[in-house]
Amino acid sequence: MQTHEKPSTSPADAKVVVESLLEQMTLAEKIGQMIQPDSTQIEPEDVATYAVGSVLSGGNSAPAANDVQGWANRVREYMQASLQTRLKIPLIYAADCVHGHNNCHGAVVFPHNIGLGATRDALLVERIGAITAREMLACNLHWNFAPCLSVPQDLRWGRIYEGFGSDPALAGQLGAAYTRGLQAEGVAACAKHFVGDGGAEWGTRRRLSWVDFWEQGGGSWMIDQGDVNVDEATFRAVHLAPYYPSIDAGALTVMASFNSWRGLKVHASRYLLTDVLKGEMGFQGFIVSDWMAIHQLSPDMYTCVIQSVNAGLDMMMYPLDIPGFIAALTTAVENGDVPLARVDDAVRRILTVKQRLGLFEQPLTDDSRMSEVGSAAHRAVAREAVRKSLVLLKNENAALPLGHDSGRIGVAGQAADDIGLQCGGWTITWQGSSGDIVPGETLLDALRQTLPDADIDYAADGQLAGGHADVGVVVIAEAPYAEGVGDCESLALDPADIALIERVRAQVDRLVLVIYSGRPLLLEPVEPLCDAIVAAWLPGSEGLGMTDVLCGDYPFTGRLPHAWIASMDQLPVTALSRNGAVPSYPYGFGLT
Ligand code: BGC
Ligand code: BGC
């Protein structure tokens, strides 16, 4: 990897730069720093109008020219606009690069965090953080809305795969490793979603008549953004614990969570945001709201603004209407409903992060970085992550490994040759999609490359040529989803997938099942039909990482980051320990 000179970012320098700016800023300029619109909501020419401190590209907001050059150009326009404002304060541009720079066509797509959890490999996760940072910096992005430190409790949640696993210590360790990797390269981490996102209960999401943005993606939204109803000791042990290692590692930002704790939305909780996070835990960076989340506090904008700013939020992601937010916060300061000192504290925190990242000296990166995006070196690390993330749940009758001596290999299932399904949500678009959406190798491509002389037959519908193969490899996948769109009442396999498995079973001597999913699915009806079962999670663009282990060049080492439940009544997993139910495969399971 090339090294690039880094600007000086010492705490002492920060204080001088930041305090002198604060003295010169008008209230409007201070409030501007506290706003983060989405790129679809603001054009570069309006950056100066509001003196905005940040812009994000949300999950559906990739630039029209979606490649490295297109991203770099588009972000540069916003950055340059900020450098033309009165005080020339650079904005900080953010995106959800939650498994690589995943919305940028051509970037390497890593496994989602659930797969990284299965690797148990903190050094690997740190390298992934560093590579993600380098691919972002090539596009002038300095802020990643990652890592996600949630500790998911209910596998029906649509965000299970964004967390590393159900053990708070694992989430804490891997989250801190990722934070170190990102920030060592000069990209700010954002530990999210603070706090309790993984603990919301089915059916507790409040439907608010004045908030309807989330219904756009469809889905059930039954858990996501809901309520966590546990006592404080449990809340701290399960959901707060993973934040300590990332904050110790110097995480520069934290995102507040949509969920509530015992009925109070985190965005309005001064106790959690100010007393606990900034006070007790000593967090020095700034807290950003989640997407329009403050609008869930009240139908009245003024109330939303004073509650959230006074609770300790420093920056607002995409307020419904920018002029309205500015007017409300200005009035609140004038009325004394929000102390000016609170605004100053928020702005001081935001400017300090910008200074620590070197943005004042070097707001734009140089074009030489662009060639690194999606490079062979980066793909090799993703491939390593894939092979370490696969969990072997079952292997009988020597079904695996596959080799040139396996005889005829019959591959079945659309997912075997669909890179979109292999990547899952948060890939190119918010929800992700099936199809040829990013460069890389599908499992079928990878098998053909790894076993060039093997007799491989592919039939998406499972109707194998000649009606027979020695080994069948069936690949099934959950349709991609993100957030509450993926909240799902039942984790039963799709009946079409069960039929596919049965069809192939009837034509082969040995059957290998590979599953792409963001969470454990109920295997009970098909388990007896399979000789081998591999949980591949959402592995991303590097299919060769799968064949590395499926074909025996490397051993399986992945271990389950969640208990693999046997039936729906074993949920939430906390009930598992209470009722003594036995999952299909316990937490930590994985054949080698
Ligand atoms: C999600 C966050 C994400 C943000 C920006 C929200 O809906 O909850 O995880 O960072 O959108 O895309
Ligand atoms: C955006 C996402 C965001 C979501 C929130 C989508 O339109 O692209 O980034 O997380 O809305 O509802």
pLDDT digits (tens, 9 = 90+) for 132-151: 999 999 999 999 999 999 99
Q: How many CB atoms lie within 10 A of CB 70?
A: 17
Residue 574's pLDDT is what? Answer: 65
Q: How far is the CA of 169 from the centre of ligand 2 (A)?
A: 29
Mean pLDDT across the stretch 211-217? Answer: 66
Residue 14's pLDDT is what? Answer: 78
Q: How far is the CA of 570 from the centre of ligand 1 (A)?
A: 29
Query: Has residue 211 got a pLDDT over 90?
Result: no
> How many angstroms separate the CA atoms of 425 and 432, rounded?
4
Residue 576's pLDDT is what? Answer: 60
Q: How many CB atoms lie within 10 A of CB 38?
A: 18
Query: Has residue 476 got a pLDDT over 50?
Result: yes
Q: Is 18 left (phi over 0), alpha (psi -120 to 50) or beta?
A: alpha
Q: Is 340 left (phi over 0), alpha (psi -120 to 50) or beta?
A: alpha
Query: Has residue 212 got a pLDDT over 80?
Result: no
State if residue 214 touches ligand 2 by the CB under 6 angstroms criterion. Answer: yes
Residue 2's pLDDT is what? Answer: 40
Query: Has residue 258 got a pLDDT over 90?
Result: yes
State if residue 186 touches ligand 1 by the CB under 6 angstroms criterion. Answer: no
End-to-end Cα spacing for the chain: 33
Residue type, 190: C
Mean pLDDT across the stretch 286-311? Answer: 96
User: Strand 391-395 relative to strand 532-537: parallel, antiparallel, unpaired?
Assistant: antiparallel
* Residue 68 DSSP class: H
> How many angstroms separate the CA atoms of 452 and 470, rounded?
17
Residue 215's pLDDT is what? Answer: 63
The mean pLDDT of the chain is 95
Q: How far is the CA of 475 from the centre of ligand 1 (A)?
A: 30
State if residue 41 touches ligand 2 by the CB under 6 angstroms criterion. Answer: no
Residue 10's pLDDT is what? Answer: 72
Best residue among 41, 98, 145 to mutate for probing ligand 1, ranked by most atoms within 8 Å of CB: 145
State if residue 162 touches ligand 1 by the CB under 6 angstroms criterion. Answer: no
Q: How far is the CA of 55 from the centre of ligand 1 (A)?
A: 13
Six token digits for residue 239: 């959901």
Mean pLDDT across the stretch 506-515? Answer: 98
Six token digits for residue 497: 């997938």
Find the angle CA(246)-CA(251)-CA(257) to the nearest 5 degrees. Answer: 80
pLDDT band with cut points at 50, 70 and 90 for residue 487: very high
The reply to whether 77 belongs to the active site is no
Residue 580's pLDDT is what? Answer: 75
* Region of poorest pLDDT, from 211-225, 254-268, 471-485: 211-225
The reply to whether 483 belongs to the active site is yes
State if residue 481 touches ligand 1 by the CB under 6 angstroms criterion. Answer: no
> How many angstroms separate the CA atoms of 86 and 536, rounded?
52
Query: Has residue 73 got a pLDDT over 80?
Result: yes
pTM, entire model: 0.97
Catalytic one of 290, 314, 384, 417? 290
State if residue 258 touches ligand 2 by the CB under 6 angstroms criterion. Answer: no
Residue 3's pLDDT is what? Answer: 41
